[in-house]
Structure formats: structure tokens, C-alpha cells
Amino acid sequence: MTHDPEIENHDQHTDDSIHQFIDGLSSRFAAIELPYHLHVRKDCCSYIQMILSPIDPDELAGDLVPVIGEDSLRRFYKGYIESDPPLALCVASYLFNAVPPCCTIADGPKIELDRDRLTRCIADYARTIKAGDMPISVSLRVANIDIGSDFELASGITFRKVSEDIVRSKYPVDTTFIGVSEAVAQSWFKHRIETVFSSQGKGKELELLSHHEEQDASVNSITHAFLLSGLQDEFHAIVTHYSYDTPIKRFCYTRNVDRVGLEPRLLSDDHIKKLKSAYAFLENANSDSVLRTAVDRYLLGLDRASHHPHATNQPNWDKIVDYVIAMESLFLTVNGTTNSELSYRLRLNGSSMIHLATGEDRRAIFHALKHLYSLRSKIVHGNLNDAVKPARAFFEAFGETLLRPSDQLAIYQKLRKRVEGWLTSVLFFLDTVPPPERPYKKQDGWEELLWPRDLEPNPDDVFPGR
């Protein structure tokens, strides 16, 4: 095997620079006077991070940037945090997570740095950056199920059974902050199934992995497959932990430990077949916005409790509402539009009732409800990219000017509060009306709101002498 002197010199330069960085870090730690109580702490990671946090990224990591390579760092971290993030900040972010596990609190007390371990970590980091991408492993600890052998749910997604030692080390629970019942504690290590998502990625994926939205998407992809396959009622599969592992960063989040059963139940070959089919269907549905919206609403209904959450021995009718909306998504969509008569009836009845309950202008409410129903239709039928247009038009019906017309979240919050105010006012108004006189109970009740009796002309005035 031939040796390239240029590569060997570059690697030696990299190692020398890493050692120089570690020397500086050791000197910084040695100069810190630690509180005496730290000598009894087994886990000093949070304290080390507290020491590193105020250090300027250029001061902490600036010397490592040219060693690793500015071009390589820029390519790897493109799109991370911002379009062109400061390179020293990217390296400092890595060090913030890599350095603490390499430290211990020794007698004194003083910080002891495992130089060899940190050297390996930084060298591996440099190689990952220069390679251009990295392996990413996202693991979900799934409780209440068991499997006879490992299986692939889909490409890059594997269900596997791990040892008790792996559960203990990979999926810990800090009982100081999270309560675990005695029954759950006794059965904890019987639940040894994890789902692993394997992929390749760059620096920008690091930010996504820690987002709650990304975590929920991974968790829901599994739990929704159990729901849709009809297995959830039997197995009650839950995800207790979300963990991700990359050469640059690793972390584990505890999600749910209060519904872990006493004994996991074994998935049969038939169960696994159903689970695979459900997962494949959900993945395929992502390309059809109408179908995806109907499925999401159906899953929302499936996930609701069958009993009413606030009434004893009462059914949870919201499940039926979710199912009907799911049907509307499919059956009322014709060329991307819905039945216009439904919208018109909503506007007539709604504007009359809201006007009586709030005193707001009936005509403005009538036009605003048109845009509100249009917004509902776009959400129900999957046209989420166009949802902001009717939301803006809703306020235009009242002649109101939006301070931030491009901020969808701000518009949504303003509209949500307005509609909640309407509904609250209407409900309390109806409470003052005798039940038989409420417009939805009496014949021509809604029509009477449109044409109040005190405004109807006297026939004798219209046709005198008749």
C-alpha cells in the first residue's frame, strides 16, 4: 500500500492543531475555581456546558475552523440555522455537546479532561465534515409490543429487539423529574423493541432532528400505522423515547412512560403484514393532498377516546364529527370546490345569530363567513398553501388592516381569537333563549332571524280595505 506524504502531513497538522486546542481548553478549565459541592457529582455535563456557553464561538473554536477546512464546513453546514452560518459557531455548537462527556469532576474539586477521548471525537468530527455527509440514526423505543425476530417495515426503517443493557443505557428515565409507578418500573425492561430510521444527511439535518415537529413526524408515522391497521386497540403501542445519533451530535428525549403495560404483546406475522400495508398507505397518501387531509382527520378521530372526556358514560361524538369531516374531504370535493349551497346557508344563519350575540355588522359578518368557510374548505381539502388568502379576506370584510399581512401565524392567531369570541358570545346568548325558541329547534326559526316579525308589514297597511 502506497502512502501519500501530502495526506500524512495534513493529518499530522490536524492532530497537532487538535492537541493545541485541547491544551488551551485544559488550561482554561484549570483556572476555574469550582464550588466544593461538585466533587460529589457523577454527572458534570450540565456544569461544563454552563462554563462553555458564555465563551465567544470565535474564541472557543476559531482555531479549529482552518484545520477542518472552511470550504468543507461551508458545504456541510449549508442551510444550518441560516443560509450562511458563521463557521466558528457551527464548530462551537459541536464542541458544546462533545466536550462535557469527556470531562469528570476530580478531587479538589477540579475538571479533569479525557484528552484521548476528546482527541478521537474531534478527529472523527473533522473526518465527517470532510466526507460531506454523515449517517443519521433515529431510534424510537416502542413499548407494549414484542417481536419474534427483527423485520424491515420499509426501506431504511427496522423494528428490532435489543438487550436489557441497551434499554438501560440508551433509553434512561430520570425519575427525579418523571414519575414512574412501581408496576411500570418492574416491567420496564420487558419492553425491548425499538424502531430505527437510518439515513444520510448534512449539517442542516442536525437542527431538524431536535425540532418537536420532526420528532412528532417520526413518532406519528409509527403510531398512525398501528391506528390505521386496526392493531392499536389490541396492542396500545406507545413511544417512550425519541433518540437520534450522528457522529456530530446525539440526544435522547423521554416522551411518554405512563402507559407502559405489564407485559408486551407479540406481533404475529399477520400483524406485521397489516402494519407494513398501513405504513405504505400512509406514505403514499402524502402525495395526494385531498386523501392526506381525509386520512389525517380520520386518524384524529381514531385517536380520540371513545368516552366523552368531560361527561360520565357519554359517547365522544367528536369522533363522529372527525369522521364526517373526513368524508366531506373526499365526497364534497369536485374540481377542488365544495357545494356552494352549504356555504350560503352557513353565511345566512351565522351572520344573523352572530349579529344578535355580538352586535357586529350583519353584512360584514355575512361576507366574512364566506371567507371563513372558504378557509375551512381549503384546510379540509388539503389546499394549505392557499389558506392565508381567505384568512386575509376575512378581515378585509370588516375593513380591518393587518399589521403583518405576510405573517401566517399572526393572521391565524388573530382569526382564531375572533372566531372563538363569536362562538363564546353565541353560546351564552343562546343560553338566554328558552330552548323551544332557539332557532334550530323551532320551525322557521332561522327565517325569523332573517325577517323579524316586528319588521313585517301589516297586510292592512299594504292592502287597505281588504
Question: Does 277 lie in the same domain as 174?
Answer: yes
Question: Does 204 lie in the same domain as 184?
Answer: yes
| 376 within domain boundaries | yes
**Which residues span the domain enclosing 393?**
340-432
Instruction: Give percent of the chain with pLDDT exceeding 90.
Output: 28
Stretch among 30-44, 126-140, 398-412 having the lowest mean pLDDT: 30-44
- Would you say how long the chain is, in residues? 466
| 443 within domain boundaries | no
Question: Does 152 lie in the same domain as 59?
Answer: no
| 362 within domain boundaries | yes
| 457 within domain boundaries | no
Question: Does 226 lie in the same domain as 292?
Answer: no
Question: Does 99 lie in the same domain as 35?
Answer: yes
The interaxial angle of helices 87-98 and 45-52, nearest 10 deg, is 160
User: HEC states along 119-174?
Assistant: HHHHHHHHHHHHHCCEEEEEEEEEECEECCCCEEEECCEEEEECCHHHHHHHCCCC
Question: Does 265 lie in the same domain as 253?
Answer: yes
pLDDT at position 1 over 50: no
pTM comes to 0.68
Q: Which residues contact 238 (CB under 8 A, 6 or more apart)?
A: 142, 143, 144, 223, 256, 259, 260
Question: Does 146 lie in the same domain as 124?
Answer: no
Amino acid identity for residue 315 in this structure = P
| 452 within domain boundaries | no
Question: Does 96 lie in the same domain as 28?
Answer: yes
| 106 within domain boundaries | yes
| 408 within domain boundaries | yes
* DSSP conformation class of 337: B
Q: What is the mean pLDDT of residues 451-458?
A: 55
How many independent structural domains does the chain possess? Answer: 4
| 198 within domain boundaries | yes
Our CA angle for 291, 294, 295, nearest 5°, is 85
**Over the stretch 243-267, which tens digit does the pLDDT of each residue have?**
999 988 888 988 888 788 889 999 9
Question: Does 345 lie in the same domain as 225?
Answer: no
Question: Does 235 lie in the same domain as 138?
Answer: yes
pLDDT at position 8 over 80: no
Question: Does 368 lie in the same domain as 295?
Answer: no
Question: Does 208 lie in the same domain as 86?
Answer: no
Comparing 444 with 455, the larger pLDDT belongs to 444
Stretch among 146-160, 417-431, 448-462 having the lowest mean pLDDT: 448-462
Residue that terminates a domain, selected from 271, 296, 331: 331
**Over the stretch 48-99, which tens digit does the pLDDT of each residue have?**
888 888 888 888 888 889 888 899 999 998 877 666 778 898 898 899 888 9
